[in-house]
Amino acid sequence: MVEHAEIRMVRRGGSKINFREPVITNDSRFLLCAAGESVNVYSTSTEEFVHDLQGHTDLVTGVVLNPSNHLQVYSCSADGTVRLWDFMDGILIKTFIIGYPIYSIYVSEKHGGVVFVVVPMANYKSSELFQLVAVHLPRSGDQEVEARELSAVLCDVSPHPGAVSFGREGEYIAATKGLQLEVFFFKKQKSYRFSLKSGMKKGVKNAFTCVSCHPKEDCIATGHADGKIRLWRNFNQKKEYTYTTLHWHHGAVNTLCFTPEGTNLLSGGIESVLVHWHYTQENQKDFLPRLGAAITHIAVSPDGSLFCTSHSDNKITIIQSCVKVSAIIQGLVKGDGVWTDLIIDPRSKALVLNGKPGHLQFYSLHRDKQLYNLDIVQQEYINEEGLDQFEVVKAAFDARGDWLATVEERRKKGAELEINLKLWAYDKLTQSFVLNTTVTAPHEDRITGMFFSPSPETTMLVTTSLDDHFKAWLLADHSDTKGKLASYSEGFWSCDFVGGYHLLKPGCCSYSADGSLLAVGFQEVVTVWSPASWELLTTLSQPPGAIRDLCFGRLSCSKYLLGTSTKNQLCCWNLLTCSLEWSTPMDVSLLQADPLSENMAAFCSQSGSSDLFVFKPSEPRPLYSQKALCTGKVQHAVFAPRDQMLESCEERTQWLNRSQTSAQLTPLSRSLPQLLHTPAHVLPSASFLCAMFVRSLLVSRSSLCLVGWGTLLHSYFQVSPEMFDQVQVRAPAAPLKDIQRLVPKPILRFLGCVLRVVVLLQGEPSPQSENRL
């Protein structure tokens, strides 16, 4: 077992960009938003990511422009610091250490050199109560200064950043919490509190959700949980205050914002409609409907020309002159769950998973950007709580990425399950998927697994379901109708075979690498079928425990079938002898095969944390293991191919953990290229072939010895791609010499196909290679 220094786990992206209100710079060219531990800078016109401001060591909780210098920005973070940045060049100017975790930050032009931050009350450890404090920023030339001069302004405020707002020219500050609005006047150093009745009547929820102050007049707008907006006036006294009520939203008002001139009030909520109230004529309002998802924040550029809205689906929409959506910055959508698993689109190499409700998102891992959204359900989304929506629960790509299969389902309480199976064909013209076939109710119960056959000749799909059957779907060849319509020439999908085994429920299925075998796990029994004739070839079983995951080995290990069971067993069957090769007691929560090599990754959950093992099915010793990868159970993982081929070829694994906020990626520097074209499970093992071949070709010289090939070697030896023409190996570590040999090329090509890498050593074998021999 070798530990690798260069294998690291790196967080690749997928951070929330809708966590806090975004900020538009004074010249309206850039948009800044908190994204995880950094502040991202986007261009407002091209919606492209420009750069990020990195330095915080914990979640960034607020971003505000420096009122005294419009090229600088303050950011606060839960790590207890406020940092001042030059966002144009991405330079950290200063770090102010506050010492408490900060939840939000406010500044005002009138209060120069002071920032207002919300921190937990010092004497309450359990962060239940928060206070608003003014921090006097010390003027010193140092990079890092401690700001210890804190003075409390308001006690017991909400940590929600929308619940506090500066009033006209910073004369007062308004804060809401629960059913109470508190206004603090700086001149008088006095605060007034206004309470609303709890309103336990039907449908009335008076709790404040957000507050915004008019920039020119003494007016405070507050949003409420029942969708009302109240405009408070005359609040500089305890008694004779007045308020007017505006009501359009049917859900809670999430956010409110006045335009810089105070002529308009913008509000948004779960309806995903931006409502545009005219301040003077309060009955008049404009709408911008169907923005995609619930609005969480609204920001207006300082000149009032651009609005931007953050949405619950990790999206920022930039709206020009009140009416037109000009740009959309979309991060990785974190939906209610990842039911589809993580999938790699073979064509774009993008990560595919659930996105917005009823959509699949294509997310580029290398650019941390959503490429596009594919609308699967194709229905008008109704933003209302308590509705049973259609959800995409399964998705699968075929080997070349020409076909996409999706399953959507909607379960109503007490009613029948609605399932649709949809098959999408890739359209080269529009570069996206076009719906080809919809199968309503493909199964009578929930679909548990869906896989395409990897064989290039037939396009076949297998679905397993809880209704005790698995079905094979084939692309029907409509050659007789071909002449009629060109667009229909590719044919439609239809059911080819329905199979079952003893009325057991199929749980998982897997195709062998060449598509000649199909393994379906029926609880404790693994059945192996031949997709060509739909004959049941054999059954394998290793009780106790139902089969949870099935995986065929690939390439040289294609004679192996691996299965994990619920009773902590990892079994490896040899398909040539139909017997158990090895098994080990492991609580494998997830088993994944690398599509480009014979390696497998198994995630085990042990005592609250997950371990990763990477191994080859032919030998039960792991190639790589990582203890305590992350806390919690790993739910989904997938091998992601590299964008650019480094060295010979490498992949990375990446896994997304539900217990953590975003996807994590690990570059696992490993091999390899080239797929076998012969049915892999009928070939003898590659090591056997290799030894034979080398022996037959090489002059018997004692100084030559075969080291082998495989995954790990490539971390040490670089193999040039020309090796199919001449065996040429360079090794930086071991005393290796170039060997050039006139070998008939076809033989070498064949060898290259089967063996991929042959490494020849001259002289003393290196200690590492001895280990592996």
Partner 1 sequence: MASFKPTKIPIYPKLGEKVTPDTLYWKNYKAPVQIKEFGAVTSIDFSPLAPHNYAVTASTRIHIYGPFSQEPVKTFTRFKDTAYSGKFRSDGQLLVAGCEDSVVRLFDVSGKVALRVFKGHTKGVHVTDFTSDCYHILTGSDDYTCRLWDIPNSTELTSYKEHTDYIRCGTTSKLNRDIFITGSYDHTLRVFDARVEKSVMTMDHSQPVESVLLYPSEGLLVSSGGRYVKVWDLLKGGQPLVSLKNHHKTVTCLGLSSNGQRLLSASLDRHVKIYNTTNYKVVHNFDYAASILSLALAPDDESIVVGMTNGVLSIKHRKSPEEKQEVAGKQRVRPVYRVFVKGRNYVPKKDDFFVSKPVKSHLAKYDKQLKRFNISKALDTALELWRKNRKPDITVAVMKELDRRGTLKNALAGRDEQNLSQLLNFLIGNVVDPRFTPVLVTATEMILDIYQAVVGQSSVVDRQLVRLQELVEREIDYQQDLLEVLGMLDTLFATSLPRKEVPCPGSSRPNGLAEGGLGAPGPQLQAA
Q: Which is nearer to partner 1, 465 or 599 (CB)?
A: 465
Distance, CA of 685 to CA of 691 (rounded, Å): 10
Structure tokens at 601: 């990754």
Beta strand 130-136 pairing with 81-86: unpaired
Residue selected from 156, 496, 647, 725 as contacting partner 1 according to rule CB under 8 A: 496
Sole window of 138-146, 300-308, 379-387, 549-557 interacting with partner 1 (rule: CB under 8 A) = 379-387
What distances in angstroms separate CA 41 from CA 36, 53, 93, 702, one per listed residue? 13, 8, 16, 62
Residue selected from 527, 558, 569, 674 as contacting partner 1 according to rule CB under 8 A: 527
Query: Considering the complex, what minimum distance in angstroms separates the CB of residue 240 from partner 1?
Result: 40
124 contacts: CB under 8 Å, gap ≥ 6: none
Distance, CA of 639 to CA of 399 (rounded, Å): 15
The DSSP secondary structure of 326-341, one letter per residue, reads: EEEEE-----S---S-
Q: Is 499 in the site for partner 1 (CB under 8 A)?
A: yes
Structure tokens at 404: 């996409």
Q: Is 290 in the site for partner 1 (CB under 8 A)?
A: yes
Q: Which is nearer to partner 1, 386 or 732 (CB)?
A: 386
Q: Which is nearer to partner 1, 267 or 542 (CB)?
A: 542
Query: Considering the complex, what minimum distance in angstroms separates the CB of residue 412 from partner 1?
Result: 8
Residue in the block written with tokens 């076009």: 434
Distance, CA of 11 to CA of 337 (rounded, Å): 20
Q: Is 540 in the site for partner 1 (CB under 8 A)?
A: yes
Question: Which phi and psi (to 5°) does residue 430 adopt?
Answer: -90, -5
Q: Is 47 in the site for partner 1 (CB under 8 A)?
A: no
Residue 624 contacts residue 611 (beta carbons within 8 Å)? no
Residue 157 contacts residue 211 (beta carbons within 8 Å)? no
Structure tokens at 362: 């294509």
Q: Is 379 in the site for partner 1 (CB under 8 A)?
A: yes
Q: Which is nearer to partner 1, 337 or 543 (CB)?
A: 543
Residue in the block written with tokens 């290990």: 557
The pattern of x and - marking residues 426 through 465 that bind partner 1 according to CB under 8 A reads ------------x-x-------------------------
Residues 541 to 560 in contact with partner 1, rule: CB under 8 A = 541-543
Distance, CA of 523 to CA of 512 (rounded, Å): 20
Query: Considering the complex, what minimum distance in angstroms separates the CB of residue 383 from partner 1?
Result: 11
Count of residues of this chain found to bind partner 1 when the rule CB under 8 A is applied: 51
Q: Is 524 in the site for partner 1 (CB under 8 A)?
A: yes
Q: Is 251 in the site for partner 1 (CB under 8 A)?
A: no
Q: Which is nearer to partner 1, 146 or 418 (CB)?
A: 418
Alpha-carbon Rg for the chain in angstroms: 31
Q: Is 492 in the site for partner 1 (CB under 8 A)?
A: no
For the chain, how are helix, strand and coil distributed in percent, rounded to 5? Answer: 5, 45, 45
Best CA proximity match to 276, nearest among 252, 251, 246: 246
C-alpha distance across the termini of the chain, in Å? 13
Q: Which residues pair with 536 in a beta bridge?
A: 529
The pattern of x and - marking residues 412 through 431 that bind partner 1 according to CB under 8 A reads ---xx-x-------------
Q: Which is nearer to partner 1, 146 or 496 (CB)?
A: 496
Residue selected from 311, 471, 554, 714 as contacting partner 1 according to rule CB under 8 A: 471
Q: Which is nearer to partner 1, 415 or 486 (CB)?
A: 415
Q: By CB neighbour count within 10 A (0-12 exposed, 13-18 middle, 19+ buried), where does 642 fall?
A: middle
Distance, CA of 737 to CA of 705 (rounded, Å): 12
Distance, CA of 564 to CA of 575 (rounded, Å): 16
Sole window of 24-32, 340-348, 423-431, 497-505 interacting with partner 1 (rule: CB under 8 A) = 497-505
Q: Is 737 in the site for partner 1 (CB under 8 A)?
A: no
Q: Is 537 in the site for partner 1 (CB under 8 A)?
A: yes
Sign for the CA dihedral angle at 175, 176, 182, 183 comes to positive
Q: Which is nearer to partner 1, 330 or 635 (CB)?
A: 330
Residue selected from 152, 532, 536, 628 as contacting partner 1 according to rule CB under 8 A: 536
Best CA proximity match to 612, nearest among 621, 622, 620: 622
The pattern of x and - marking residues 380 through 409 that bind partner 1 according to CB under 8 A reads x-x-x-xxxxx-------------------
Distance, CA of 521 to CA of 543 (rounded, Å): 12
Residues 301 to 360 in contact with partner 1, rule: CB under 8 A = 325
Residue selected from 476, 534, 691, 747 as contacting partner 1 according to rule CB under 8 A: 534
Q: Which residues pair with 529 in a beta bridge?
A: 518, 536
Distance, CA of 271 to CA of 253 (rounded, Å): 9
Sole window of 147-155, 237-245, 533-541, 604-612 interacting with partner 1 (rule: CB under 8 A) = 533-541
Q: Which is nearer to partner 1, 471 or 636 (CB)?
A: 471
Q: Which is nearer to partner 1, 138 or 545 (CB)?
A: 545
Query: Considering the complex, what minimum distance in angstroms separates the CB of residue 579 from partner 1?
Result: 4
Maximum C-alpha span of the chain: 105
Q: Is 532 in the site for partner 1 (CB under 8 A)?
A: no
Residue 162 contacts residue 177 (beta carbons within 8 Å)? no
Query: Considering the complex, what minimum distance in angstroms separates the CB of residue 169 from partner 1?
Result: 35
Q: Is 292 in the site for partner 1 (CB under 8 A)?
A: yes
Query: Considering the complex, what minimum distance in angstroms separates the CB of residue 387 from partner 1?
Result: 5
Q: Which residues bind partner 1 (CB under 8 A)?
A: 288-292, 325, 375, 378-380, 382, 384, 386-390, 410, 415-416, 418, 438, 440, 469, 471, 480, 495-503, 524-525, 527, 534, 536-543, 577-580
